[in-house]
Amino acid sequence: PSANTTAQARGTLLGAALGDALGARFEGEDVVGGPSLVAHDRAAEPLRYTDDTAQTIVLARHLVQRRDRAPVDEDALATDLARAWQAEPWRGYGAGSRQVLELVAAGVPWPEATRACFGGHGSYGNGAAMRVAALALIATSLTHAAQLADRTAKVTHAHQHGREGAELQACAVFLALHSDPVRPLDRDHYLDELSRALPSTSWHGRIDQIRAMPPTASPSYAASLLGNDATAIRSVPMALHSFLRYPDHPAEAIRYAIRAGGDTDTIASMAGALAGARTGIHGLPVTWLERLENADRIRALADRLAPRIPRTR
């Protein structure tokens, strides 16, 4: 792998982990005031990550372990996720995911387990979207990224929105990873490509709202339009917008996402993965990386996946 692909793989996974770990403290708060974020930002205590990163690690490790075989095995992934939940149930899992993984751990096949929650239609939470970043590293095209994302999403999220949110985020990371770093990111082109990658109309309105957002929109104004909760359709767009606000500055994209309140760890994690994919690890603050729990393990997983990033330029 070139130095650049290694840096970008690291930026992707560590950007996701940093957004999660920094946002975790504020998850569920309506509005996050600047001063409390600044204090947290500058503090010295370790940055602990949550279920978002725990599951991102599971997925990255799954891809590393399967090497030359088909990259995703649904049954094995469901088992891997269930084991991770059993080992660390205190990471802050969503209620639906917890219920599914508990059933899988008890031996229920995932297709049944995923339909046990939310009245049979399955979860439309953002739990499948928040863990997909590593897929973008091995995908060979936008279509491939979407296909892989859907296969990983459905083991916990049966609802179409839960699955499509994962597709959108995987495609968005793929495009960020393969964007030309020396030119300013072409926002309209980026959003056009995403619209084309997502055939379902329920997401096109969201993408159009991102496009129409005034350049100076405050985080709370953006959240009032795009949403900031733990459902996929009301969080992935906010993460995309945060990234597009600061495509070359992961720390700013993460701070913006956190200031929007709501599902801060998850939205900041998705925004961090996007910006980190584009800038590479050199765009991430060293002071944050030094405080991040298990940063070495996450970096090592990125290094195993970096050689699999296809050359597109």
Number of residues located near Mg ion, criterion CB under 5 A: 7
Amino acid, res. 259: R
150 binds ligand R7I, rule: CB under 6 A: no
Which 34-53 residues touch ligand R7I, going by CB under 6 A?
Answer: 50-52
Which 242-271 residues touch ligand R7I, going by CB under 6 A?
Answer: 263, 265-266
Which 152-171 residues touch ligand R7I, going by CB under 6 A?
Answer: 159
Q: How far apart are CA 197 and CA 199, in angstroms?
A: 6
* Binding at 204: pick from Mg ion, ligand R7I, none (beta carbon under 5-8 Å per type): none
How many other C-beta atoms are found inside a 10 Å radius of the C-beta of residue 87? 9
Minimum distance, C-beta of residue 75 to Mg ion, in the bound complex (Å): 25
Within a 13 Å sphere around the CA of 47, how many CA atoms are in the beta-carbon half?
27
Nearer to ligand R7I, 257 or 306 (CB): 257
Interface map 235-274 toward Mg ion (x if CB under 5 A): ----------------------------x-xx--------
8 binds ligand R7I, rule: CB under 6 A: no
Question: What residues contact 275, with CB distance under 8 A and at least 6 apart?
Answer: 11, 15, 176, 243, 246, 247, 248, 249, 250, 253, 254, 283
Nearer to Mg ion, 190 or 256 (CB): 256
Coil, strand or helix at 247:
coil
Burial, 120: exposed, middle or buried (Cβ in 10 Å; 0-12, 13-18, 19+)?
exposed
